[in-house]
Amino acid sequence: MTATPIRHDWTLSEIHELLELPFNDLVFRAQSVHREHFDPNEVQVSTLLSIKTGACPEDCKYCPQSGHYNTGLEKEKLLEIEKVVAEARAAREKGASRFCMGAAWRSPTKKDMPYVLDMVRQVKSLGLETCMTLGMLNEDQAGELAEAGLDYYNHNLDTSEKFYNHIITTRTYQDRLDTLENVRKAGMKVCCGGIMGMGEDEDDRAGLLMQLANLPHHPESVPINMLVKVAGTPLDDVEDLDPFEFVRTIAVARIVMPASHVRLSAGREQMNDQMQALCFLAGANSIFYGEKLLTTSNPEADHDRQLFNRLGIRPEQRGEAHTDEEREAGLIEAMEHERNHHLFYNADERKSA
Ligand code: SF4
Protein backbone atom coordinates (compact mmCIF):
# COMPACT_ATOMS: atom_id res chain seq x y z
CA MET A 1 0.00 0.00 0.00
CA THR A 2 1.43 3.40 -0.92
CA ALA A 3 1.31 6.01 1.82
CA THR A 4 -1.00 8.97 1.32
CA PRO A 5 1.20 11.78 -0.04
CA ILE A 6 1.67 14.86 2.14
CA ARG A 7 0.12 17.78 0.28
CA HIS A 8 0.17 21.54 0.74
CA ASP A 9 -2.28 22.43 -2.02
CA TRP A 10 -5.69 21.58 -0.60
CA THR A 11 -8.64 23.46 -2.04
CA LEU A 12 -11.61 24.62 -0.04
CA SER A 13 -13.96 22.46 -2.08
CA GLU A 14 -11.85 19.33 -1.46
CA ILE A 15 -12.00 20.00 2.27
CA HIS A 16 -15.76 20.55 2.13
CA GLU A 17 -16.13 17.26 0.29
CA LEU A 18 -14.24 15.49 3.06
CA LEU A 19 -16.23 17.21 5.83
CA GLU A 20 -19.45 16.14 4.14
CA LEU A 21 -18.59 12.46 3.56
CA PRO A 22 -20.90 9.93 5.22
CA PHE A 23 -19.64 9.74 8.81
CA ASN A 24 -18.50 6.10 8.65
CA ASP A 25 -16.63 6.66 5.38
CA LEU A 26 -14.90 9.72 6.79
CA VAL A 27 -13.82 8.04 10.02
CA PHE A 28 -12.65 4.95 8.14
CA ARG A 29 -10.56 7.07 5.81
CA ALA A 30 -9.08 9.10 8.66
CA GLN A 31 -8.22 5.95 10.62
CA SER A 32 -6.60 4.40 7.54
CA VAL A 33 -4.42 7.49 7.00
CA HIS A 34 -3.62 7.56 10.72
CA ARG A 35 -2.25 4.00 10.61
CA GLU A 36 0.16 4.90 7.81
CA HIS A 37 1.99 7.32 10.09
CA PHE A 38 1.34 6.38 13.71
CA ASP A 39 0.82 3.52 16.07
CA PRO A 40 -2.99 3.69 16.37
CA ASN A 41 -2.88 2.73 20.04
CA GLU A 42 -0.50 5.43 21.21
CA VAL A 43 -1.48 8.88 22.39
CA GLN A 44 1.03 11.57 23.19
CA VAL A 45 0.55 13.22 26.58
CA SER A 46 1.58 16.79 27.33
CA THR A 47 1.15 18.90 30.42
CA LEU A 48 0.27 22.56 30.37
CA LEU A 49 1.21 25.08 33.02
CA SER A 50 0.10 28.69 33.05
CA ILE A 51 3.21 30.69 33.94
CA LYS A 52 1.34 34.00 33.88
CA THR A 53 -2.43 34.13 34.19
CA GLY A 54 -5.00 36.77 33.24
CA ALA A 55 -5.01 40.52 32.48
CA CYS A 56 -4.15 39.90 28.83
CA PRO A 57 -4.50 43.03 26.65
CA GLU A 58 -5.92 41.02 23.72
CA ASP A 59 -9.69 40.68 23.25
CA CYS A 60 -10.11 37.03 22.14
CA LYS A 61 -13.83 36.56 22.71
CA TYR A 62 -13.50 33.00 23.98
CA CYS A 63 -10.82 33.66 26.58
CA PRO A 64 -11.34 34.16 30.32
CA GLN A 65 -7.78 35.55 30.55
CA SER A 66 -8.58 38.60 28.46
CA GLY A 67 -8.52 41.83 30.48
CA HIS A 68 -11.49 43.02 28.38
CA TYR A 69 -13.98 40.74 30.15
CA ASN A 70 -14.92 40.25 33.73
CA THR A 71 -14.84 36.51 34.38
CA GLY A 72 -13.73 36.58 38.01
CA LEU A 73 -10.43 34.93 37.08
CA GLU A 74 -7.65 35.60 39.56
CA LYS A 75 -4.71 37.30 37.93
CA GLU A 76 -1.26 35.96 38.68
CA LYS A 77 2.19 37.40 38.12
CA LEU A 78 4.86 35.54 36.22
CA LEU A 79 5.64 32.34 38.17
CA GLU A 80 9.07 31.97 39.71
CA ILE A 81 11.43 29.79 37.74
CA GLU A 82 11.93 27.38 40.69
CA LYS A 83 8.19 26.75 40.85
CA VAL A 84 7.96 26.10 37.12
CA VAL A 85 10.88 23.65 37.29
CA ALA A 86 9.34 21.83 40.28
CA GLU A 87 6.07 21.44 38.40
CA ALA A 88 7.86 20.26 35.26
CA ARG A 89 9.62 17.63 37.35
CA ALA A 90 6.28 16.49 38.82
CA ALA A 91 4.77 16.30 35.32
CA ARG A 92 7.69 14.17 34.14
CA GLU A 93 7.17 11.80 37.07
CA LYS A 94 3.50 11.43 36.05
CA GLY A 95 4.41 10.36 32.53
CA ALA A 96 4.25 13.61 30.55
CA SER A 97 6.79 13.77 27.74
CA ARG A 98 6.30 17.42 26.87
CA PHE A 99 5.88 20.39 29.17
CA CYS A 100 4.01 23.39 27.80
CA MET A 101 4.24 26.80 29.45
CA GLY A 102 1.71 29.50 28.61
CA ALA A 103 1.68 33.21 29.42
CA ALA A 104 -1.29 35.53 28.81
CA TRP A 105 0.65 38.15 26.86
CA ARG A 106 0.22 39.98 23.57
CA SER A 107 3.92 39.30 23.16
CA PRO A 108 6.83 39.00 25.61
CA THR A 109 8.59 42.26 26.57
CA LYS A 110 12.34 42.81 26.71
CA LYS A 111 12.14 42.46 30.48
CA ASP A 112 10.34 39.09 30.28
CA MET A 113 12.73 37.42 27.87
CA PRO A 114 15.60 36.51 30.26
CA TYR A 115 13.11 34.75 32.58
CA VAL A 116 11.45 32.73 29.88
CA LEU A 117 14.80 31.79 28.33
CA ASP A 118 16.02 30.54 31.69
CA MET A 119 12.79 28.58 32.15
CA VAL A 120 13.32 26.88 28.81
CA ARG A 121 16.90 25.93 29.66
CA GLN A 122 16.00 24.52 33.05
CA VAL A 123 12.90 22.55 31.96
CA LYS A 124 14.82 21.19 28.99
CA SER A 125 17.61 20.01 31.30
CA LEU A 126 15.06 17.66 32.94
CA GLY A 127 14.87 15.72 29.67
CA LEU A 128 11.42 17.02 28.76
CA GLU A 129 10.41 18.44 25.42
CA THR A 130 9.58 22.10 25.89
CA CYS A 131 6.77 24.15 24.42
CA MET A 132 5.76 27.74 25.05
CA THR A 133 2.93 30.02 24.13
CA LEU A 134 3.72 33.67 24.81
CA GLY A 135 1.85 35.55 22.08
CA MET A 136 3.42 37.19 19.07
CA LEU A 137 7.17 36.81 18.49
CA ASN A 138 9.45 38.84 16.28
CA GLU A 139 12.38 37.21 14.51
CA ASP A 140 14.88 38.02 17.27
CA GLN A 141 12.68 36.66 20.05
CA ALA A 142 12.03 33.46 18.09
CA GLY A 143 15.77 33.08 17.52
CA GLU A 144 16.59 33.53 21.21
CA LEU A 145 13.99 30.97 22.29
CA ALA A 146 15.25 28.45 19.75
CA GLU A 147 18.80 28.99 20.94
CA ALA A 148 17.74 28.39 24.55
CA GLY A 149 16.42 24.99 23.43
CA LEU A 150 12.70 25.56 22.98
CA ASP A 151 11.34 22.66 20.93
CA TYR A 152 7.80 23.84 20.12
CA TYR A 153 5.98 27.13 19.94
CA ASN A 154 2.19 27.21 20.19
CA HIS A 155 0.38 29.92 18.28
CA ASN A 156 -3.15 29.11 17.16
CA LEU A 157 -4.89 30.52 14.10
CA ASP A 158 -8.17 29.86 15.97
CA THR A 159 -10.51 29.98 12.95
CA SER A 160 -10.74 30.93 9.28
CA GLU A 161 -9.36 34.24 8.03
CA LYS A 162 -12.87 35.44 7.17
CA PHE A 163 -14.32 34.73 10.62
CA TYR A 164 -11.23 35.95 12.52
CA ASN A 165 -12.34 39.52 13.21
CA HIS A 166 -15.62 38.28 14.69
CA ILE A 167 -13.48 36.71 17.41
CA ILE A 168 -10.43 38.97 17.83
CA THR A 169 -9.93 42.61 16.88
CA THR A 170 -6.66 43.47 18.64
CA ARG A 171 -4.47 41.68 16.09
CA THR A 172 -4.82 40.37 12.55
CA TYR A 173 -4.66 36.97 10.92
CA GLN A 174 -1.51 38.16 9.17
CA ASP A 175 0.09 38.91 12.58
CA ARG A 176 -0.49 35.27 13.47
CA LEU A 177 0.96 34.02 10.20
CA ASP A 178 4.02 36.28 10.65
CA THR A 179 4.76 34.81 14.08
CA LEU A 180 4.37 31.28 12.70
CA GLU A 181 6.88 32.15 10.01
CA ASN A 182 9.34 33.58 12.54
CA VAL A 183 9.05 30.42 14.64
CA ARG A 184 9.73 28.21 11.61
CA LYS A 185 12.64 30.33 10.45
CA ALA A 186 14.22 29.98 13.89
CA GLY A 187 14.02 26.18 13.48
CA MET A 188 11.39 25.43 16.12
CA LYS A 189 8.48 23.06 15.70
CA VAL A 190 5.02 24.53 15.43
CA CYS A 191 1.89 23.77 17.43
CA CYS A 192 -1.05 25.47 15.73
CA GLY A 193 -4.75 24.75 15.53
CA GLY A 194 -8.09 26.28 16.34
CA ILE A 195 -11.31 26.33 18.30
CA MET A 196 -14.61 24.88 17.15
CA GLY A 197 -18.05 25.90 18.34
CA MET A 198 -17.47 29.68 18.40
CA GLY A 199 -20.47 30.30 16.12
CA GLU A 200 -18.47 29.63 12.95
CA ASP A 201 -19.94 27.67 10.06
CA GLU A 202 -18.60 24.71 8.11
CA ASP A 203 -16.93 27.05 5.66
CA ASP A 204 -14.89 28.53 8.51
CA ARG A 205 -13.86 25.12 9.77
CA ALA A 206 -12.86 24.18 6.22
CA GLY A 207 -11.02 27.52 5.84
CA LEU A 208 -8.99 26.94 9.00
CA LEU A 209 -8.09 23.37 7.98
CA MET A 210 -7.07 24.58 4.52
CA GLN A 211 -4.89 27.32 5.99
CA LEU A 212 -3.13 24.87 8.32
CA ALA A 213 -2.71 22.17 5.67
CA ASN A 214 -1.30 24.62 3.13
CA LEU A 215 1.38 26.12 5.39
CA PRO A 216 4.83 25.44 3.87
CA HIS A 217 5.33 22.83 6.64
CA HIS A 218 2.42 21.29 8.47
CA PRO A 219 2.40 22.13 12.18
CA GLU A 220 3.84 19.16 14.07
CA SER A 221 0.98 19.52 16.58
CA VAL A 222 -2.53 20.56 15.63
CA PRO A 223 -4.73 21.27 18.67
CA ILE A 224 -8.41 21.03 17.84
CA ASN A 225 -10.30 22.66 20.70
CA MET A 226 -13.99 22.67 21.52
CA LEU A 227 -15.05 26.02 22.92
CA VAL A 228 -15.38 26.02 26.70
CA LYS A 229 -18.04 28.64 27.36
CA VAL A 230 -17.02 30.86 30.25
CA ALA A 231 -19.51 33.21 31.91
CA GLY A 232 -18.47 36.81 31.37
CA THR A 233 -16.94 36.20 27.92
CA PRO A 234 -18.88 37.29 24.81
CA LEU A 235 -19.16 33.66 23.62
CA ASP A 236 -20.81 32.52 26.83
CA ASP A 237 -24.18 31.78 25.18
CA VAL A 238 -23.15 30.83 21.66
CA GLU A 239 -25.04 27.84 20.24
CA ASP A 240 -23.51 24.40 20.86
CA LEU A 241 -21.72 22.72 17.96
CA ASP A 242 -23.05 19.27 17.01
CA PRO A 243 -20.41 16.92 18.53
CA PHE A 244 -20.29 14.93 15.27
CA GLU A 245 -19.16 18.09 13.46
CA PHE A 246 -16.29 18.26 15.96
CA VAL A 247 -15.34 14.62 15.25
CA ARG A 248 -15.55 15.35 11.52
CA THR A 249 -13.14 18.27 11.97
CA ILE A 250 -10.65 16.00 13.76
CA ALA A 251 -10.98 13.38 11.01
CA VAL A 252 -10.34 15.90 8.23
CA ALA A 253 -7.40 17.39 10.15
CA ARG A 254 -5.94 13.86 10.26
CA ILE A 255 -6.48 13.33 6.51
CA VAL A 256 -5.04 16.65 5.35
CA MET A 257 -2.11 16.64 7.83
CA PRO A 258 -1.35 12.91 7.97
CA ALA A 259 1.94 13.07 9.87
CA SER A 260 0.98 15.70 12.47
CA HIS A 261 -0.12 14.99 16.01
CA VAL A 262 -3.77 16.03 16.19
CA ARG A 263 -4.47 17.10 19.73
CA LEU A 264 -7.78 16.72 21.47
CA SER A 265 -7.39 19.83 23.51
CA ALA A 266 -9.58 22.29 25.44
CA GLY A 267 -13.12 21.09 25.97
CA ARG A 268 -12.09 17.48 26.56
CA GLU A 269 -13.29 17.62 30.17
CA GLN A 270 -16.81 18.30 28.92
CA MET A 271 -16.74 15.25 26.62
CA ASN A 272 -17.87 11.82 27.75
CA ASP A 273 -15.65 8.78 27.29
CA GLN A 274 -17.49 7.66 24.15
CA MET A 275 -16.95 11.02 22.48
CA GLN A 276 -13.25 10.98 23.34
CA ALA A 277 -12.95 7.43 21.98
CA LEU A 278 -14.59 8.58 18.73
CA CYS A 279 -12.06 11.40 18.49
CA PHE A 280 -9.19 8.91 18.92
CA LEU A 281 -10.79 6.71 16.23
CA ALA A 282 -10.96 9.74 13.94
CA GLY A 283 -7.22 10.28 14.34
CA ALA A 284 -6.65 12.39 17.45
CA ASN A 285 -3.42 11.17 19.04
CA SER A 286 -2.43 13.74 21.60
CA ILE A 287 -4.01 15.11 24.77
CA PHE A 288 -3.22 17.50 27.56
CA TYR A 289 -3.21 16.45 31.14
CA GLY A 290 -4.28 19.68 32.82
CA GLU A 291 -2.49 21.48 35.61
CA LYS A 292 -4.44 19.36 38.07
CA LEU A 293 -2.07 16.57 37.14
CA LEU A 294 0.45 18.32 39.28
CA THR A 295 -1.54 18.12 42.48
CA THR A 296 -1.36 14.95 44.54
CA SER A 297 -5.01 14.02 44.37
CA ASN A 298 -5.79 13.99 40.71
CA PRO A 299 -9.06 12.30 39.78
CA GLU A 300 -8.89 13.80 36.30
CA ALA A 301 -5.59 12.08 35.48
CA ASP A 302 -6.82 8.85 37.07
CA HIS A 303 -9.87 8.99 34.86
CA ASP A 304 -7.68 9.52 31.78
CA ARG A 305 -5.56 6.57 32.79
CA GLN A 306 -8.64 4.38 33.19
CA LEU A 307 -9.93 5.48 29.81
CA PHE A 308 -6.55 4.64 28.24
CA ASN A 309 -6.70 1.20 29.87
CA ARG A 310 -10.26 0.56 28.72
CA LEU A 311 -9.30 1.49 25.16
CA GLY A 312 -5.92 -0.27 25.21
CA ILE A 313 -4.13 3.01 24.57
CA ARG A 314 -0.58 3.64 25.70
CA PRO A 315 1.03 7.03 26.28
CA GLU A 316 3.50 7.73 23.49
CA GLN A 317 7.19 7.46 24.35
CA ARG A 318 9.34 10.52 24.77
CA GLY A 319 10.86 12.04 21.70
CA GLU A 320 10.01 11.15 18.16
CA ALA A 321 11.05 7.88 16.60
CA HIS A 322 12.11 8.12 12.98
CA THR A 323 13.26 4.62 12.14
CA ASP A 324 11.93 1.20 13.10
CA GLU A 325 14.96 0.65 15.34
CA GLU A 326 14.47 4.00 17.06
CA ARG A 327 10.77 3.32 17.41
CA GLU A 328 11.45 -0.08 18.95
CA ALA A 329 14.07 1.31 21.33
CA GLY A 330 11.70 4.14 22.23
CA LEU A 331 8.85 1.72 22.88
CA ILE A 332 11.00 -0.37 25.21
CA GLU A 333 12.07 2.75 27.08
CA ALA A 334 8.48 3.99 27.26
CA MET A 335 7.23 0.62 28.50
CA GLU A 336 9.84 0.66 31.23
CA HIS A 337 8.89 4.20 32.10
CA GLU A 338 5.17 3.51 32.15
CA ARG A 339 5.63 0.33 34.16
CA ASN A 340 7.56 2.29 36.73
CA HIS A 341 4.89 4.93 36.85
CA HIS A 342 1.86 2.63 36.82
CA LEU A 343 0.63 3.95 33.49
CA PHE A 344 1.42 0.72 31.69
CA TYR A 345 -1.50 -0.87 29.91
CA ASN A 346 -2.68 -3.78 31.99
CA ALA A 347 -5.16 -6.19 30.39
CA ASP A 348 -6.41 -7.42 33.78
CA GLU A 349 -7.17 -3.91 34.93
CA ARG A 350 -9.01 -3.28 31.68
CA LYS A 351 -11.25 -6.28 32.23
CA SER A 352 -12.30 -5.04 35.62
CA ALA A 353 -12.62 -1.35 34.62
S1 SF4 B 1 -3.91 36.26 23.55
FE2 SF4 B 1 -4.17 34.31 24.60
S3 SF4 B 1 -4.35 34.83 26.79
FE4 SF4 B 1 -4.66 36.74 25.63
S5 SF4 B 1 -6.87 36.89 25.43
FE6 SF4 B 1 -6.13 35.86 23.57
S7 SF4 B 1 -6.21 33.65 24.02
FE8 SF4 B 1 -6.42 34.77 25.97
Catalytic residue among 56, 176, 248, 268: 56
CB 241 within 8 A of CB 226: yes
Q: Look at residue 288 and give its three-state secondary structure.
A: strand
Distances (CA, A) of 316 to 30, 139, 197, 343: 19, 32, 29, 11
Q: What pLDDT does 301 receive?
A: 66
192 assigned to a ligand binding site: no
Question: What local confidence, expressed as pLDDT, does residue 51 receive?
Answer: 81
Residues whose beta carbon lies within 6 Å of some atom of ligand 1: 56, 58, 60, 63, 65-66, 104, 135
Q: Which residue has the least CA distance to atom 6 on ligand 1?
A: 60
Q: Each residue's pLDDT tens digit in the chain (353 positions)? A: 567 789 999 999 999 999 999 999 999 999 999 999 999 999 988 778 888 788 788 888 888 888 888 777 777 777 778 888 988 888 887 777 788 888 888 999 998 899 999 999 989 988 888 999 999 999 999 999 999 999 999 999 999 999 999 999 999 999 999 999 999 999 999 999 999 999 999 999 999 999 999 999 999 999 999 998 888 889 899 999 999 999 999 999 999 999 999 999 888 888 899 999 999 999 999 987 755 444 434 456 678 888 889 999 988 865 443 334 443 443 334 334 333 333 322 333 333 32
Kindly report the CATH number that applies to the domain delimited by 12-300+315-324.
3.20.20.70
Report pTM. Answer: 0.83
Q: Which residue of 48, 51, 56 sits with most ligand 1 atoms within 8 Å of its CB, as the best mutation to test the pocket? A: 56
Cα(353) to centroid(ligand 1), Å = 39
Please tell me the distance from the alpha carbon of residue 166 to that of residue 180, in angstroms, as a whole number. 21
Q: Which of 48, 51, 59, 60 to mutate to test the pocket of ligand 1 (most atoms within 8 A of CB)?
A: 60
User: Would you tell me how many other CB atoms lie within 10 Å of the CB of residue 287?
Assistant: 24
